[in-house]
Every structure is written in structure tokens, then in C-alpha cells.
Amino acid sequence: MAVPPNALPASLVDPFQRAITYLRVSVTDRCDFRCVYCMSEHMTFLPKRDLLSLEELDRLCSAFVRLGVRKLRLTGGEPLVRRDLTTLIRSLGRHLESGALEELTLTTNGSQLTKHACDLYAAGVRRINVSLDTLDATKFRAVTRWGDLNQVLRGIDAALAAGLKIKINTVALRDVNEDEISSIAEWAHGKGMDLSLIETMPLGDIEEDRTDQYLPLSLVRARLSQRYTLTDSPYRTGGPARYVSVAETGGRIGFITPMTHNFCESCNRVRVTCTGTLFMCLGQEDAADLREPLRASRNDDLLVDAIREAITRKPKGHDFIIDRRSAKPAVGRHMSMTGG
């Protein structure tokens, strides 16, 4: 593979010889839902002055691209509630055109897709993830607290019509959606969409007991195996999901298992918050401030130095655990702060 002409020497490699090629950037901590496993119902969001501007987000992402990042995912909160986000996406699209970036993607709850799907495609996005945990409108309202299932389903149809490839992300929740995972898979596969199942993760105070929510995907897979013919698939998207092919539907199901199977040995990812804080691991509190070096100079020398130094502190793995003996989450910050 040819090295992009504007790439800096010595790509990002952590202490365990893992190349960092995947960056997830939260563009806002705000969301128009309040999902019970993700947020408290009464959230206090950051003042807008603390957020990186779209121009600063562009500079930051571009520095990572020059350092060897090949895949960039924009997240939130809900990224599409950030005003003028498509301006940033169009600008970042230049890295797709140059070949420096292989993929520019987005994770969304789908609520804003009817407005933005065509703009996303025009800006160079070809694949998105949509978070959807149930196809039951009453359950959907209960899980999201504020969400409208029909609005999301219309958004998914609009995105498919615009030419976007979609993967559905479903958090497996005990006594909530465990009885409809097979129907979600059949619905998704019927529309040509892959499905990824995710174990709930202990991030942030959510006013709920996560031990009541937690459903191990080893159990989910065993149940699915009783109904379908599942075959391990080599398919990868760059993330932590491990896929199986489903003979009866012709689709794929991915399993993201931070609790039952630690996938850290192959981690190629880091995350940046909307305030410019770099987390080298989703499940650790150690972080690096990139906002100060970003704003301290018009060139990116200080920023690049800060990124390189932070990567030397990337840990081998996370410390996630869900334990009834501890009322506190493993990590204090909410997922919406770090980005999905």
C-alpha cells in the first residue's frame, strides 16, 4: 500500500507493538435520547465554549491521519445534533480523495437521518452504524426515555435509499430485548444490514443497576445457535466485533464482548472527546489533553508531540467488570463523553 504523500514518518505504535490506525472522535456529548444503559435521565452537558470548534476538530483529525490513522469514526452523544457537522465531514472528505484515509464513518441513533442521509453520502460517507436496541415502540421509548421508533426507522430507510451501508448496533439487555434478538437479526438481514450485538459496559452513573441489565453474549450466541446455523466469519470492519454468518438469513451477526471475552490484544483504536481529551483506552481513566497543544500554536508540532507521547501510555487492556459488590461504575465518565 502506497504511503500518502503528506504522511509523517513513524506511524503510531503503542508499547505492545499495536499500530494505531483507527480514531473515534466524539463531536458532542449531547444527545436527543437518554438511553438507560448510557446516560442518566437528567444529564448536565458541557458548555459549548468547552467544545472544540469544527475547524479544531478538522485539524486534530487531520494530524492523526498524517500519523497513520486510516479509519475515522465520528460519534457523540448523537453526532448529528452538532450544528453544521456536515461541514466538517465534507472537509475531512479530502483525505478520502487523497487516499490518506480509507474510511470516514459515523455512529448515530438514527433520529436525524431523514435530514442528513443524502448530505452524508455526498460528503464521502459510505457506511454508518445505527444504534437500535428494540423494534417494539413501547420498549424503545422505555430504553431511550425520549426516542420515537418510527422516526428512527424512517431515518434508516432514508439512509439506505441514499446509498449508505448500515450496520445495526444492539446492546443486549437482560429482560428487555433478549427475547427479540433473533427478530432484530431477521429484520436487519432482510434489509441487507449486518447486526452487531454488544454487552453493556460499566461507564458512568446511570441511576440503574447494571448487574440487572447485563446479558452475556456467550448465552445469546448459544441461544441463537439453537435456531440458526452460525459459521465463524473472517469478516472485519476494523472494530472489535467478531462475526458469524447466518445460513438461514444470509446475513452476519457480530459479537462485541468487552465483559465475557477481552478483545484488547488486537486493539488498534483510540478515542478523542469533543473537548480534545485523548483516551488511549475506553476502559481506563488515563488521558491526554490535546486541546492545549492544539490551541498553543498555528502549526501541529506540539499537537503531534502530545499524540505520540500519549500513545506510549496506551495500556494492554481495560479493567471492565460488572460486580454487585460495587455500586460504582468501572469508569466514571459516561459513554456519551468518550464516544461510542
Residue 36 has pLDDT above 80, yes or no: yes
Is the pLDDT higher at 307 or at 240?
Answer: 307
What are the cell numbers at 94?
Answer: 479530502
145 is in an annotated binding site: no
pLDDT at 1: 44
Residues in the chain: 340
Handedness of CA 167, 171, 175, 176 (dihedral sign): negative
Please name which of 203, 180, 152 lies closest in space to residue 36, comparing C-alpha atoms.
203
The alpha carbon of residue 53 and the mean position of all alpha carbons in its chain are separated, in whole angstroms, by: 20
The answer to whether 8 and 86 are in contact (CB under 8 A) is no
Does residue 197 surpass a pLDDT of 90? yes
* Residue 264 known to bind ligand: yes
At which residue does the C-alpha cell 478523542 appear?
A: 272
Residue range 129-150: mean pLDDT, rounded: 95
In a domain, 262, yes or no: yes
Domain that holds residue 37: 22-338
Do 258 and 239 meet the contact criterion of CB atoms below 8 Å apart? Answer: no
Q: What is the pLDDT of residue 333?
A: 47
Say if residue 133's pLDDT is above 90.
yes
Cα Dmax for the chain: 59
Tell me: is residue 37 an annotated ligand-binding position: yes
Residue 271, marked binder: yes
Q: What is the mean pLDDT of residues 263-287?
A: 86
**Residue 35 is assigned to a ligand binding site:** yes
Residue 229 has pLDDT above 60, yes or no: yes
* Secondary structure letter of residue 145 according to DSSP: S
Does residue 26 surpass a pLDDT of 60?
Answer: yes
- Angstrom distance (rounded) from CA 109 to CA 38: 12
Please state, rounded to an integer, the average pLDDT across all residues of the chain. 88
Residue 153 CA to its chain's centroid (Å): 20
Confirm whether residue 270 is marked as ligand binding: yes
In whole angstroms, what is the distance from residue 152 CA to residue 110 CA? 5
Q: 321 or 303: whose pLDDT is higher? A: 303
- Confidence (pLDDT) at 146: 87
- Give me the mean pLDDT over the 274-287 stretch: 88
Q: How far apart are CA 126 and CA 147, in angstroms?
A: 25
Using CB atoms within 10 Å of the CB of residue 238, give its burial: 0 to 12 exposed, 13 to 18 middle, 19+ buried: middle
The pLDDT value recorded for residue 8 is: 53
6 within some domain: no
DSSP notation for 259-326: TTS--GGG--EEEE-TTSEEES-TT---EEE-HHHHHH-SSSHHHHHHHHHHHTT--S-------TT-
Encode pLDDT of 74-126 as tens digits: 999 999 999 999 999 999 999 999 999 999 999 999 999 999 999 999 999 99
Give how far Cα 289 sits from Cα of 31, 56, 150, 220, Å. Answer: 23, 14, 40, 39
For residues 223 and 205, give the distance between their C-alpha atoms in angstroms, rounded to a whole number: 30
- The CATH number of residue 28's host domain is 3.20.20.70
What is the structure's pLDDT at 70?
96
Is residue 13 in some structural domain? no
Going by pLDDT thresholds of 50, 70 and 90, the confidence category of residue 239 is: confident
Q: What is the pLDDT of residue 40?
A: 77
List, in order, residues 6 or more apart from 226 with CB less than 8 Å away.
Answer: none
Residue 317 in this model has a pLDDT that exceeds 80: no
15 within some domain:
no
193 belongs to an annotated ligand binding site: no
Please check whether residue 12 lies inside any domain of the structure: no
Residue 245 pairs with which residues in a beta bridge? 231, 252
Q: For 268-282, what is the mean pLDDT?
A: 93
Residue 77, marked binder: yes
Task: Say if residue 266's pLDDT is above 80.
Answer: no
Residue 130 lies in a domain: yes
Of 160-169, 211-220, 252-261, the range with the highest mean pLDDT is 160-169
Is residue 151 a part of any domain in this protein? Answer: yes
Q: Which three cell numbers stand for residue 278?
A: 485523548
Q: Is 131 annotated as a binding residue?
A: yes
pLDDT tops 50 at residue 324: no
Is 328 within any annotated ligand binding site?
A: no
Say whether 269 counts as a known binding-site residue.
yes
Instruction: For residues 236 and 196, give the distance between their C-alpha atoms in angstroms, rounded to a whole number.
Output: 12
Contact predicate 167/193, CB 8 Å: yes
How many domains are there within the chain? 1
Query: Measured in whole angstroms, how far is the alpha carbon of residue 74 from the centre of its chain?
Result: 8
Domain contains 14: no
Query: Does the annotation place 252 within a ligand binding site?
Result: no
pLDDT of residue 11: 85
Grid cell in block for residue 335: 459513554
- The predicted model gives 190-213 an average pLDDT of 74
Query: Average of pLDDT values for 229-238?
Result: 92
Residue 118, annotated ligand binder? Answer: no
The secondary element (H helix, E strand) that includes residue 199 is strand 194-199
Confidence of residue 18 (pLDDT cuts 50, 70, 90): very high
Residues 6+ apart with CB under 8 A from 76: 26, 27, 28, 29, 30, 31, 82, 107, 108, 274, 336, 339, 340
